C-alpha cells in the first residue's frame, strides 16, 4: 500500500513538472526533440496530443514580414523579482515564476509563468535570425496564453544574464538555485515596440490561440554567454511555420 501511494505521488509530481515546462499545457507525454526521428517534422506522429503541430493553421514561429499597422495598446509591464531557480528540462533552460508580476496586453492582464531561451531565435525578421531569443510566457485568469519574445544580438555582456547563466544546470532534469531572484524586466529593451499576431506554442503540443508580442529592439549578449548556453543546447529552435492568412501588425 505504501509503495502504491509513493508511486502515485511520484506520478503526480512528474505530471505537474511536465505541465509547467515552457508554459505548455499538460497534454501528451511522448519524448520529442529538435532533430532526428523525434524532431519537429515528426512531432505530430509522436502523440495524438501533438496533432496541432502538423494540422494547425496558426502555428509559431513565423517569418515576420509584410506587416500592417495595428491599433494595439502599448505593453504595460509590471514585473518583479519572482523566479528563484533554474531548471534544465531537457529542451532548454527555464525559470518557473510564481510571483513575478504581469504584463497587460491590450485590455487583458497576463501573469508571468516562465522564462526560457532558444538558440538561434525561432522568429525570423524578413529572413533575418538572431543568435538567441527569450520567451516570456504569461497566462491570464482564464488560462489563455501570451508570449513576449525578446531578441538577443551578439555584443556586450548582458549583466542580467550573468548570474542566471552561471547557475544553469548542466544536466537535464536538474534544478539550480539562483543567487538572486530573477526580475524579467531586466531582459527588456528600452524600446518596447512590437509585432503582434496570433500563433501557437512552439513546442508540443503546439496549442494555438496564443497572443504573440515580438519586441522589435534586440538586447545584447556576449559571445561567451552565447557559448555557455550553446554548450547545453547548440540548437533548440523550431523551424518557421506557414503564416497562412494571418495578419502581423506593428
CATH at 7: 3.10.200.10
> Percent of the chain beyond pLDDT 90?
82
**What is the pTM (predicted TM-score) of this model?**
0.89
- Structural domain contains residue 34: no
pLDDT at 27 over 70: no
Number of structural domains, the chain?
A: 1
- Structural domain contains residue 33: no
Q: Is the dihedral of CA 242, 122, 198, 19 positive or negative?
A: positive
Q: At what angle do helices 223-232 and 159-166 cross, to 10 degrees?
A: 30
- Structural domain contains residue 247: no
User: What confidence category does residue 77 fall into, taking pLDDT thresholds of 50, 70 and 90?
Assistant: very high
Is 91 among the catalytic positions?
yes
User: What confidence category does residue 216 fall into, taking pLDDT thresholds of 50, 70 and 90?
Assistant: very high
pLDDT, tens digit (0-9, with 9 covering 90-100), for 117-136: 999 999 999 999 999 999 99
- Structural domain contains residue 30: no
Place of cell 494595439: 72
User: What confidence category does residue 212 fall into, taking pLDDT thresholds of 50, 70 and 90?
Assistant: very high
pLDDT at 192 over 80: yes
pLDDT at 21 over 70: no
The boundaries of the domain holding residue 160 are 2-24+39-232
- Structural domain contains residue 250: no
- Structural domain contains residue 11: yes
pLDDT at 3 over 70: no
Catalytic site residue from 91, 116, 135, 138: 91
- Structural domain contains residue 249: no
How far CA 99 is from CA of 2, 17, 147, in Å, comes to: 35, 17, 17
Instruction: Give mean pLDDT, residues 50-77.
Output: 97
- Structural domain contains residue 239: no
Amino acid at each position: 500500500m505504501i509503495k502504491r501511494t509513493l508511486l502515485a505521488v511520484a506520478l503526480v509530481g512528474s505530471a505537474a513538472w511536465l505541465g509547467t515546462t515552457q508554459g505548455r499545457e499538460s497534454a501528451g507525454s511522448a519524448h520529442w526533440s529538435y532533430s532526428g526521428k523525434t524532431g519537429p517534422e515528426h512531432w505530430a506522429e509522436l502523440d495524438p496530443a501533438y496533432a496541432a503541430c502538423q494540422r494547425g493553421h496558426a502555428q509559431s514561429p513565423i517569418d515576420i514580414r509584410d506587416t500592417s499597422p495595428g491599433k494595439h495598446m502599448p505593453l504595460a509591464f509590471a514585473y518583479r523579482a519572482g523566479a528563484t531557480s533554474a531548471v534544465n528540462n531537457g529542451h532548454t533552460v527555464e525559470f518557473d515564476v510564481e510571483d513575478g508580476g504581469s504584463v497587460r496586453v491590450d485590455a487583458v492582464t497576463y501573469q508571468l509563468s516562465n522564462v526560457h531561451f532558444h538558440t538561434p531565435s525561432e522568429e525570423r525578421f524578413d529572413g533575418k535570425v538572431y543568435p538567441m531569443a527569450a520567451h516570456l510566457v504569461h497566462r491570464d485568469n482564464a488560462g489563455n496564453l501570451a508570449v513576449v519574445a525578446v531578441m538577443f544580438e551578439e555584443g556586450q555582456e548582458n549583466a542580467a544574464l550573468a548570474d542566471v547563466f552561471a547557475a544553469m544546470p548542466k544536466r537535464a532534469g536538474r534544478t539550480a538555485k539562483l543567487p538572486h531572484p530573477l526580475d524579467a524586466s531586466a531582459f527588456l529593451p528600452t524600446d518596447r515596440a512590437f509585432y503582434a499576431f496570433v500563433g501557437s506554442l512552439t513546442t508540443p503540443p503546439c496549442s494555438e490561440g496564443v497572443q504573440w508580442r515580438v519586441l522589435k529592439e534586440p538586447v545584447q549578449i556576449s559571445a561567451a554567454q552565447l557559448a555557455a548556453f550553446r554548450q547545453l543546447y547548440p540548437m533548440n529552435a523550431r523551424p518557421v511555420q506557414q503564416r497562412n492568412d494571418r495578419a502581423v501588425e506593428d
